[in-house]
Amino acid sequence: MVVSGIHVTGAHPTGLRADASALTALAEFPDTTPRGIAGVIARLVNTGDLAAGERLPTVRELASALGVSPATVSQAWQALSRAGLIESRGRAGSFVRSATSARLAPRMRGMAAPNDPVRLDLSRGTPDPLLLPALGPALSRVSARAETGSYQAEPVIPALASVLAASWPSTVESIMVVDGALDAISRTLEQVVRFGDRVIVESPGFPPFLDLLDVLGAEAVPVRLDEYGMVPDALGRALHRRPVAVLLQPRAQNPTGASMTPARAEELARVIRAASDVDDLVVIEDDHSGLISTEGDVTLGTWLPDRVVHVRSFSKSHGPDLRIAALGGPRELVDRVVARRMLGPGWTSRMLQTILLDLLTEGASIDAVAEARRQYYTRQRALGDALRARGVPVAPADGINLWVPVLSERSALVQLAAAGIRVAAGTPFLAASDSADAANGSRSRPGGDFVRVTVGVLRDGTDEVADALATAAHHLAAGGY
């Protein structure tokens, strides 16, 4: 039997042979679960027996040949797509993805701003560089005492470990320092997630988290948000799918700006404790805005100390180029992260740790971060109020980003570009199941269309920007988009 370039042999097919560049490969299917089918195809792609650009059989064709349901093959195809091995081209079918030299993962590419100049760039999600504490004084103070020559010393300098522990939102067994929040999230996920596992994520959520899950071959299970973060009832339903982890942002959620209250955190912890079949579930919290958030520090670790890994980043408060975040949680899990990291970068530069320690304890730096927090709050409040006055129903937000509802994402991006303003498209912030309609060419999806606006860099001209955003939000492009 020939199926779109792939030959399936036998009366009740258990083998698959692919012709690619005059080569023939034969692969058995001892396991016809979604994971088993995906594993066979992945091996054929990895060995080159299925070449880049080669068309795969349709879901129904392969399901019939293997004697399984179309849903089984569809799940395998989805896993391969999430892992970046195949891609859908709509009605043309599914194809082996070509190797790419792009330095960014798919959703991060979707977030990346083009290099063309723009009058006002509100798309990047980065802090205002004018509100970061000055590094010069810190550099001069630490130059004489920064350690640069030891392989054997503790990965975290003791003085910094003490400062971090004293400010942590709950008591934890172990705290380490890593190279930014994404480094912490990535290394923790690698310790708890295997191919085919499910991970609960926020909807909408941070695109790099979804890219990380794709790389790991994990399935994202989206849970909707309200103004206080994950909705407890929605989390409870998602837990029935037996995930291995929950990935959330407790404060200044990116992109919505939602922050949990202690009451909401306790309710989410209660839902997790009450769930069955999730005894090994790990909660990973990304407190990326940390010290510039106006809401109080909060963690589910207060109620679930043995399950929670809490990450605090200093990029938005003290500078992205410091590349420092702290990770705290159960000692056994943190030790596994440390052990794996010692086979790579080993530790975060103790010189950088000493600089961060200075910035966290020196008066002028503390005052600078406090002023930044006040400025971000003022800018958020000003633009939010201006948009609501113009009929755009934005929710109050914490941190530096605002999630703005629009009639059409595509139309809003074009309208704003014409006004010299760049914002981030909303689509990359949606998990696959949220954006399936968009991938199939439809613009209807849960909650409508949105764009993300980085309010933190908006120093002046609030009314002018609000006018442009309101006009774009209410505009519906020709053709019904």
pLDDT score of 230: 97
Query: What is each CA distance from 118 to 192, 373, 420, in whole angstroms?
Result: 42, 27, 6
Domain positions in the chain: 2-96, 106-130+366-473, 134-363
With a cut of 50, say whether residue 119 has pLDDT above it.
Answer: yes
Confidence label for 74 from pLDDT (cuts 50, 70 and 90): confident
Q: Domain 2-96 has what CATH class?
A: mainly alpha
Digit-coded pLDDT (tens) for 437-460: 333 333 334 457 999 999 999 999
Confidence label for 282 from pLDDT (cuts 50, 70 and 90): very high
Return the CA Rg of the chain.
Answer: 24
Q: Which residue has the tokens 């200044």?
A: 252
Q: Which residue has the tokens 């002046």?
A: 460
With a cut of 60, say whether residue 353 has pLDDT above it.
Answer: yes
End-to-end CA distance of the chain: 42
Digit-coded pLDDT (tens) for 200-214: 999 999 999 999 998
Mean pLDDT of 27-51: 78
Mean pLDDT of 107-111: 62
Q: Which of 66-80, 219-233, 249-263, 268-282 has the lowest mean pLDDT?
A: 66-80
| Pick from 201, 399, 127: nearest CA to 290 | 399
Mean pLDDT of 26-31: 66
Alpha helices by DSSP H, 155-297: 158-167, 181-192, 207-216, 232-239, 262-274
* Average pLDDT of the residues of the chain: 84
Backbone angles phi and psi of 322, in degrees to 5 = -70, -30
With a cut of 90, say whether residue 198 has pLDDT above it.
Answer: yes
26: burial class by Cβ within 10 Å (0-12, 13-18, 19+)?
Answer: exposed
Confidence label for 110 from pLDDT (cuts 50, 70 and 90): low
CATH of domain 106-130+366-473: 3.90.1150.10
What pTM, to 2 d.p., does this model score? 0.78
% of the chain with per-residue pLDDT over 90: 55
Q: Which of 7-16, 181-190, 378-387 has the lowest mean pLDDT?
A: 7-16
The tokens describing 41, both together, are 């195809």
Multiple choice CATH, 134-363, 3.40.640.10, 3.40.50.880, 3.40.50.300, 3.30.70.560: 3.40.640.10
